[in-house]
Structure 1
Amino acid sequence: MGPVLSSPINIYLIWYGNWKQPQKLLIKDFLLSISTTNRRAAPSPSVSDWWSTVSLYTDQTGANISRTITVAGEYNDLKYSHGTHLTRLSVQQVIATAVKTKPFPVDHRNGIYLILTADDVTMEDFCRAVCGFHYFTFPSMVGYTLPYAWVGNSGKQCPEVCAYPFAVPGYMGGGGPGKLAPPNRDVGVDGMVSVIGHELAELSSNPLVNAWYAGEDPTAPTEIGDLCEGLYGSGGGGGYIGEVMKDKEGRTFNLNGRRGRKFLVQWIWSPVLKACAGPNAID
């Protein structure tokens, strides 16, 4: 019964902590690969093809989630303005700090805020219960109600939890780097890309936690990414990620992006197929 992000989506990035430029470019290339308006179209299966499943979701008027997505602004919080340990509440203070800094804007109409924390920043429940989450800001904290998502770099903290399948948990015979090589040679950031995709899909389809989710409790919803956890290709399930591709160097991916980038991103629940879907399922 709630809204979806049906207008063109403006993503505002908050880089919290010390980020290397190649890491930033990798994440931005993924985000810029989502939009169908990107002039540098990637070959199929593409990130844009993957987002077409997300765009099937509509609001009460029948308006679909937008396929036009831009990175509209960036804020670098190099001084760790709220420390190296954040909580679900203090992350809203990070947003408040950013939007008070010109020219970083408050975008009520089309904006979503994506907070990305560096590998030396810890977060409440990170690694134990979450790899990322989304919600909306409280006016008492930020001054506005703004949809946002947080994702952390797990490379040094828990890659076996949040960078799966590039690192494998101990109970699966791992506890370190997995057998699958990350497509961009960065276990932490390649793992983040899939979590970012997961959270953006859920944020777009359930921005105020009153739209698309399964279950009776909106405070603990099962959303369109949760339903497909661990699935990256056809035939996946029971601990098998599904059929994915490898490049000539043996790096694993399932999506092509702009500038020749490759990514491994989990599938999303399709409201049409009533099943988890990716580009090869759509085609």
Structure 2
Amino acid sequence: MASLVYTHLLLQLVLLISFFHFILAARRLASSAETQPLPFQYHNGPLLTGKISVNLVWYGKFKPTQRAIISDFIASLSTSTPTKSQPSVATWWKTTEKYYHLSNSKKASTLLLSMGAQIIDETYSLGKSLSNLQIEQLASKGAHKNAINVVLTSADVAVEGFCMSKCGTHGSSKAASVQGKSYKFAYIWVGNSETQCPGQCAWPFHQPIYGPQSPPLVAPNNDVGLDGMVINLASLLAGTTTNPFGNGYFQGPKDAPLEAASACPGVYGKGAYPGYAGELLVDPTTGASYNANGGNGRKYLLPALFDPSTKSCSTLLVLVISFFHFNLAARRLADSAETQQPLLFQYHNGALLSGKISINLIWYGKFKPTQRTIISDFIASLSTSTPTKAQPSVATWWKTTEKYYHLINSKKPSSLVLSMGTQIIDETYSLGKSLSNQHIEQLASKGAHKNAINVVLTSDDVVVEGFCMSKCGTHGSSKGASVQGKSYKFAYIWVGNSETQCPGQCAWPFHQPIYGPQSQPLVAPNNDVGLDGMVINLASLLAGTTTNPFGNGYFQGPKDAPLEAASACPGVYGKGASDF
């Protein structure tokens, strides 16, 4: 019995994508990067200038030590109180001065940030679930003139859009009249993601929710949530000062701009590439990774800033990481890929689904008949008993899973035949519009418990625990009712329609991603971004369910966060695909 299997990326258009193809993709990016500088445009609006106080509005429970992490960072931005240890926070911040020189080269304006007032609201005066309007309301508690008001929400506070499409935001609002004159004031909001979405908003101090699962770095202040907040606050401060009112420096559309730091996502040191933060300093005592020294002996990890003079992303450890350096990083990755061992996939001696298995669909919420047909036709297409003449086909894609069965028992492999089962429609939202994981299991139990996979599909107006924060769907198993005196475990899947909640996360590439390069989305093949996204996630989970139905089949990595047959190949749909 084989215990290891080398995974092969069998796709519809090219049955085998080798690492060689990945190398070519990386090199194509590298070559184009040498000749295509990142366009960054000044839109003729004002930048923040003069002496600006940064006021902190603490909303929720924060320890004094946590507040000190942020306040020490703000104080470290000023060159009037320089840090002896280099590289420093103040050195990192000096890159923003170049924006001011470019906007007025003859008489460049200056900006001096300083620590302002701190307002503490530990009583959750507006509750624990805040709207964007309430964030603005909290921000207005700070000074309105010559100020940036920063709202910081604790780990137990939910904020509109938090973890779904953002980790923080910045904006401006019209303030009350000061000496007969009205001012616009700039504000920032950043949330503590430690308990809600650390893989999204506190990377690289937590494993990412998608992509390569490399070990997380040790946070320099020993607080994943707060060190993640520093990264996001640093990024938003750079964006706020250089694009405070939406008409300063940015790239792309005005309503979704890439700014001074957000134009360089995931870059913290030399050689950075998606999934790797770059070469960083490491504290020999704590093992923490950092790239900037701050006041009071603090260490921080700060994002790269876009340098408008060199049109490249600049980090502290190598003051300018040009696209040439990024090119070298891509090539190093490519070169290592040529000699890298194939991806190891381990069989954990558990059962795989075999025999004739019905796939039952439980539709929860409002779906049009045409939407239900998209899913049911996909399920029916998995079977080779009803082959599709046009190739490549769904059935051809699915045949890769047969190889897992051959490896378990090469002499007499088990077989699996999937077929369309029953469809159960619940348009009345019998359990409400906010479901827990237990509710999902309860809905899944409505289908047959023997020789079945029960698939729960929730509509776009249904909120599910963890949806958009850490998952787009999931699969599991549960003990079913007794059938002829015998109890069976049944497998189930849940997938949500992300169209109105997080399409950039769960319906990519049919929607622009929430982070990273903002390339044009693809046209959905069935003209329904939400449902076509659901097909992708359902396909991935079906492959995982059949080859690892009870948590002891085929997977890579930890059992509680496994990479399975499809999730081990995130974002790969055709020849030449890469994370770049």
Write the letter of the residue equivalent to 1:56. Answer: K
Q: Who is 1:35 aligned against?
A: 78
Contact 2:139 2:150 in 1 (8 A): no
Give deviations 1:239-259, integer Å, cap 9, x for gaps: 221110101121111111111
Q: Which residue of 1 aligns with 2:281?
A: 245
Report the Cα offset of residue 107 of structure 1.
3.5
Where does 1:78-227 land on structure 2 (aligned, <5 Å)? 78-96=122-140, 98-99=141-142, 106-108=143-145, 110-138=146-174, 145-172=184-211, 174=213, 178-215=215-252, 217-227=253-263
Query: How far apart, in 2, do the equivalents of 1:60 and 1:20 lie?
Result: 41
Distance across 2 between alignment mates of 1:42 and 1:122? 39
CA offsets 1:142-197 (integer angstroms, 9 cap, x no match): x85210010000111111110000101243354xx943100111000011101010
Shift of 1:56: 1.3
What CA deviation, in whole Å up to 9, does each residue of 1:76-105 have, x standing for no partner?
112212111112122111123x24xxxxxx
Code of the residue aligned with 1:47 in structure 2: it is V
Using the TM superposition, give the Cα deviation of residue 139 of structure 1 relative to its aligned residue in structure 2, in angstroms. Answer: 5.0
Distance 1:253 1:196 in 2: 16
- Please state if 1:21 is matched with 2:26: no
In the alignment, is the contact (CA less than 8 A) between 2:144 and 2:184 conserved in 1?
Answer: no
Higher relative CO (Cα under 8 Å, sequence separation at least 6) belongs to 1
Q: SS at the partner of 1:54?
A: helix
Q: Aligned partners of 1:65, 1:130: CA distance in 2, in Å?
A: 30
Residue 3 in 1 paired to residue 35 in 2? no
Contact 2:291 2:317 in 1 (8 A): no
Q: Specify the SS of the correspondent of 2:115.
A: strand
Task: Please point out which of 72, 82, 92 is paired with 2:116.
Answer: 72
Q: Distance in 2 between matches of 1:64 and 1:199?
A: 20
Question: Could you tell me whether the CA contact under 8 Å between 1:65 and 1:204 is conserved in 2?
Answer: no
Q: Go from structure 1 to structure 2 and tell me whether the alpha carbon gap of 1:160 and 1:211 turns closer, same or farther (over 3 Å shift).
A: same
Q: TM-score, normalised by structure 2?
A: 0.44
Closer/same/farther in 2, CA of residues 228 and 60 from structure 1, 3 Å limit: closer
Give the Cα separation in 1 of the matches to 2:219 and 2:65. Answer: 15
How many Å separate the matches in 2 of 1:171 and 1:277?
26
Counterpart AA for 1:203: T
For the Cα contact (< 8 Å) 1:56–1:65, is it kept in 2?
no
**Aligned-partner residue type, residue 16 of structure 1:** Y
- Paired with 1:79 and 1:144, the residues of 2 have a C-alpha distance of 30
In structure 1, stretches of 5+ residues that fail to align are: 100-105
Change (3 A) 1:173 1:280: closer
CA contact (8 A) 2:56 2:118 kept: yes
- Deviation of the 1:60 alpha carbon: 4.0
- Cα distance in 2 for partners of 1:81, 1:10 equals 24
User: For residue 317 of structure 2, what is the aligned residue in structure 1?
Assistant: 280
Work out which of the two has the higher radius of gyration on C-alpha atoms and give 1 or 2: 2
Q: Which amino acid aligns with 1:126?
A: F
Residue 265 of structure 1: aligned partner? 302
Distance 2:110 2:249 in 1: 12
Partner of 1:102 in structure 2? none
1:8 to partner: Cα distance: 1.9
CA contact (8 A) 2:272 2:279 kept: yes
Cα distance in 2 for partners of 1:282, 1:222 equals: 21
State the Cα distance separating 1:281 from its structure 2 match.
3.0
What displacement does 1:128 show? 1.4
Whether the 8 Å CA contact 2:202–2:224 is kept in 1: the answer is: yes
After the TM superposition, which of the residue ranges 57-66 and 17-26 deviates more from structure 2?
Answer: 57-66
Cα distance in structure 2, aligned partners of 1:255 and 1:80: 33
Counterpart of 1:47 in structure 2 is: 89
Letter matched to residue 207 of structure 1 = P
> How much identity, in percent, do the aligned residues show?
37
Q: Distance in 1 between matches of 2:125 and 2:307?
A: 39
Aligned length: 268
Distance in 2 between the 1:222 and 1:170 partners?
Answer: 22
CA distance in 2, matches of 1:195, 1:207: 16
- Offset at 1:280? 2.9
SS at match of 1:22: helix
Q: Secondary structure at the match of 2:149?
A: strand
- Tell me, in whole angstroms, the C-alpha distance in 1 between the residues paired with 2:302 and 2:161: 22
Quote the residue 2:392 is aligned against.
Answer: none
Letter in 2 for 1:2: G
Secondary structure of 2:58 counterpart: strand
